[in-house]
Structure 1
């Protein structure tokens, strides 16, 4: 603004008539053209796409973007699938004569462990549990004899490497803590042998020999660490997971056709047994609340998961891949899925009994890591995104005579963009539209058909005149609803495009207008 400097002539202090001339100066109207920047940004794919809590972006050697979404299933542990219940049985020895029985070792007798199915154990080590023994010989006691017996479990080892053993007498049962102990079983028949040595003292009055001695034996509170043998065919739940796809989070319409969508499964097996993994439920839920099953030979046949070789190397990894060749994944992903849901179960020893080479630890389990991979390579047809962002243009002068929205774009993406910008009030009610239905507001960058890659960004500009009503509504607006319709370059001719991490959209957005200032004199 020019500033006029008016030199004043020094006049007589008594003559102020020159001041009267100031009243005759006309008011001055000043109408400059001013600009108000709104947006100056370079937008990458990271800015356009919400990766989500369980997603990430992978890049290949071309910098092509693949959206990766992850989920995980972890089965219940083996201790909840296979357990050893409390066991008890009574063994008896007849024709015991006190005379000469001091330190007599009795023939070992069988302790048989029973199961509901066809399990065959060869080895068990214990996290916890007890072996309890009580002795009964009522006639022997009535005749005045005292009985004490030591016992040991053959082919067993406590946490010191000694046989599991204890001492029992009439009226004083024995309780042996099995924590850290292990027992090796005989003849693949789920039993072990217990050996007793008798010590009988006192003089029987009368002496009613021979006597019968019984030993009640119990195994209780059993929790195993490691079991070897054969565990029959046991079904168990592996679990379920839902994987949200944030790529379609703000989608409202249209479709994306992917060249090579995949779902990868990484399965870790810490059971020492083969497992068949069955897909119980597998579907996609679309943005339109449609449920689409994932079908095909890739999911309809069980997956064979090999056994881990030894409990010293308890993890064996198996990979399974679902793609367009063995599922309907291309069709499913075209429908804009907002999530995949997956549920599975397992079957131990799917081929039945072969030989007792299974093993399980108490914490053996299946872990299934799921990765949905959507390479951004394909075609986009009328794919509609919408989002809401806050705006504030309270700095617009009240004296605007006219205004226009000026837009400069640089589009490095192979996407044509039609754009609606809708002004919303504080209650998210639409109060006006800045512009709508603009054909290809951002023209797609051209694509090399041989590589599907954009080579040079497309530059474009646009000016939209804002009338008084729009200007007033801009001042009232608190939010801006952005609706974008995307079409990939030359999709009507089947041209596929790749989205690279290096692509950018440059946006220079501002308001230009003329302000009327009046200087009054």
Structure 2
């Protein structure tokens, strides 16, 4: 073949061949077409790829999607309800002989009294009985009698819980002197009575003054009794504790769901917060939700309103026959008693739970409190993915690479074919921007996919919706796209029948099949112009 070529070329008259540099070639005109995307996206895959914290949602056996957040708080300081403080009672006992007296022989003078002392409580709480875990009962006696005095101090109001023995102090005090005795109250129980709205306990006091023959009394002698309860602490208290206000520990919960999928135009059908109260206080509690609110990225704060915030809600309590137990009850916040739909539509950042509690809000009644009493509050925010989307927009700006290779393209057509089970209409805006993000040109309101219109009795799509869209890029749009530095893409979503206020549920097994192709006409200048 080399030989043939040599012979062929050798036989040519090259001087007769035209000069190609001076030859004009016509432009090449042709068509191009190729497939860019051929994919099926399930809603389950979308969640896995876009939700940063997968622990925040569950998919049920029926393929329903529910976003949820756990909230926990507690109140456990029993002292805030009933505060038992140190106290002192003083009693002056005058000499039973109020005139000068000389003992003619050895004489015993007896003092015997029943004494009622106060057992105070903060805020005048009515106390029936207390079981002490610690503390001291102190008796200090000062005598101005000129001789020794033997005494017995006893009270049935204080008893040893194990033996049921009364508290008894037997001792003596010397002439014109003082004595003190202390008994640990750990393991003691106090039973009290109420008189004139005060807590009382009764003491029996007996003293024998031993006068030798010739000893004298002036008639103004006395005994001073100081009864002190020091550093008291308790395991259990019974009484009627009145009406108090208390704050439950504030809890803040980050709602990460809205970081990933939030935006204006989304209203959820049935969001709810279910609070469960485990009340280990033996007194009914009312809880107000007027201090519960949501925060937003812009720094705004929006409070819950509606019936749920207008009055405190009663939390059940164990009775005096159910000591050291707890009673569980629940309260639900939803769209029927609050503005939760409107609050979540703003894509909140954080929920702040700061409830206020009220005790015995329905009136005074028998109560009990133990040292271990606690009000545990657990809450669960649930957001089923049943929603109404109207005018929801997702916007993204992308920096464009060099598109000069598109020069010479006369027309481009984007072909979008979809088979859609998602109950949404999707439309697309393409906006070409310069380096400063000023608009150069745009292609607006192009159909991406259409919502199915057939649903079964469970609200699930019965048959998907097929649609086909052609988006034509003219020469002008192509040139502006080549000159653009950035491209803003806006995807606009509306749920099925959104304008009528209908809600649609998005199931995890919904699919969106999409094919994106491109075809066009090119004109190539073969002369290099």
- Normalised to the residue count of structure 1, the TM-score between the two structures is 0.70
Contact 2:237–2:369 (CA<8 Å) still a contact in 1? Answer: yes
Contact 2:131–2:236 (Cα < 8 Å) also in 1: yes
On the 8 A contact 2:56/2:67 being kept in 1, the answer is: yes
Three-state SS of the structure 2 residue aligned to 1:88 is strand
Q: Does 1:452 align with 2:459?
A: yes
C-alpha distance in structure 1 between counterparts of 2:441 and 2:134, whole Å = 73
Instruction: Give distance in 1, aligned partners of 2:264 and 2:205.
Output: 80
Distance 1:492 1:484, change over 3 A: same
Cα distance in 1 for residues equivalent to 2:189 and 2:68: 48
Aligned counterpart, 2:84: 84
Q: Counterparts of 2:55 and 2:309 in 1: how far apart (Å)? A: 23
Mapped to 2, the partners of 1:406 and 1:440 lie a distance apart of 11
Q: 1:36 to 1:116 in 2, by over 3 A?
A: same
Residue in 1 aligned with 2:281?
A: 271
Q: Does 1:360 align with 2:369?
A: yes
Deviation of residue 227 (structure 1)?
0.6
- The equivalent of 2:201 in structure 1 is 192
Larger Rg: 2
Q: Distance in 2 between matches of 1:262 and 1:467?
A: 50
Q: Secondary structure at the match of 2:282?
A: coil
Contact 2:446 2:471 in 1 (8 A): no
**Conserved? CA contact 1:447–1:455, under 8 Å:** yes
Equivalenced residue count is 484
Report the CA distance between 1:113 and its aligned residue: 0.9
1:346 and 2:357 equivalent?
yes
Looking at structure 2, the residues matched to 471 and 35 of structure 1 have their Cα atoms a distance apart, in angstroms, of 20
**1:320 corresponds to 2:320:** no
Q: Is the 8 A contact 1:154 1:195 kept in 2?
A: no
User: 1:3 is matched with which residue?
Assistant: none
Q: CA deviation at 1:276?
A: 2.4
Q: 1:198 to 1:71 in 2, by over 3 A?
A: same
Partner of 1:112: 118
SS for the counterpart of 1:374 is strand
Q: 2:184 aligns with which of 177, 182, 188?
A: 177
Which aligned pairs between 1:126-137 and structure 2 lie closer than 5 A?
126-137=132-143
How far did 1:458 drift? Answer: 5.0
Structure 2 residue 130 is matched with structure 1 residue 124: yes
Alignment correspondent of 1:22: none
Distance 1:153 1:40, change over 3 A: farther
Contact 1:280 1:344 in 2 (8 A): yes
For structure 1, which segment, 224-233 or 189-198, has the greater mean C-alpha deviation from structure 2 after superposition? 189-198
Aligned pair partner of 1:501 in 487, 505, 508? 508
Q: Distance in 2 between matches of 1:205 and 1:418?
A: 118
SS at match of 2:193: coil
- For structure 1, the 5+ residue unaligned runs are 1-5, 9-32, 517-521
Alpha-carbon distance change, 471 to 228 in structure 1, aligned in 2, over 3 angstroms: farther
CA 1:313–1:363 in 2, change beyond 3 Å: closer, same or farther? closer
Q: Pairwise mapping of residues 241-280 of structure 1 onto structure 2 (< 5 A)?
A: 241-249=251-259, 251-256=262-267, 258=269, 260-280=270-290
Deviations 1:167-199 (A, max 9, x none): 766555333333x32323143452334455768
SS in 2 for 1:448: coil
2:234 aligned to which of 224, 227, 231? 224
- Tell me the residue number matched to 2:423: 414
The Cα of 1:423 is off from its aligned counterpart by 9.7
More displaced stretch, 183-192 vs 198-207: 198-207
Contact 2:133 2:233 in 1 (8 A): yes
CA distance in 1, matches of 2:111, 2:509: 85
**1:156 counterpart = 2:164:** no
CA positional deviation for 1:228: 0.4
Residue 264 of structure 2 aligns to a residue whose secondary structure is: strand
Change (3 A) 1:398 1:182: farther
Deviation at 1:414, TM superposition (A): 1.4
Instruction: Determine the structure 2 residue equivalent to 1:67.
Output: 67
Structure-1 separation of matches of 2:328 and 2:291? 23
Q: Deviations over 1:289-318 (max 9, x none)?
A: 776554433432331222223564432111
Deviation string 1:342-380 (CA, Å, 9 cap, x unpaired) is 5432222223334xx210123434333333333222421
For the Cα contact (< 8 Å) 1:71–1:243, is it kept in 2?
yes
What do residues 210-234 of structure 1 show as CA deviations (whole Å, max 9, x unaligned)? 8533221211222322110111122
Evaluate the alpha carbon distance shift between residue 470 and residue 361 of structure 1 in structure 2; reply closer, same or farther with a 3 A threshold: farther
- Distance in 1 of aligned mates of 2:215 and 2:2: 150
- 1:446 CA displacement: 4.5
Matched residue, 1:21: none
Q: Secondary structure at the match of 1:281?
A: coil
Partner deviation per Cα, 1:10-61 (whole Å, 9 max, x = no partner): xxxxxxxxxxxxxxxxxxxxxxx99998997845357459768798324455
Matching of residues 407-486 of structure 1 within 5 Å: 411-419=420-428, 437-448=444-455, 450-457=457-464, 483-486=490-493
Question: 1:96-155, CA deviations, whole angstroms, 9 ceiling, x for partnerless residues?
Answer: 8996769x9955533321235442212112333222222211444xx5x47686766644
Distance change >3 Å, CA 252–CA 495, structure 1 → 2: closer
RMSD: 5.5
After superposition, the Cα gap between the structure-2 partners of 1:505 and 1:247, relative to the gap in structure 1 and judged at 3 Å, is farther
CA deviations on 1:63-103 (whole Å, 9 max, x unpaired) are 2223334434433622123201221012344448996769x
1:123–1:182 Cα contact (<8 Å) kept: no
Q: Could you list the per-position Cα deviations for residues 435-458 of structure 1 after superposition, in whole angstroms to 9, with x for gaps in the alignment?
A: 863533243345415332124555
Structure-2 residue corresponding to 1:236: 246
Is the CA contact 1:96–1:209 (under 8 Å) kept in the aligned structure 2?
no
Answer yes or no: is the 8 Å Cα contact 1:65–1:375 preserved in 2.
yes
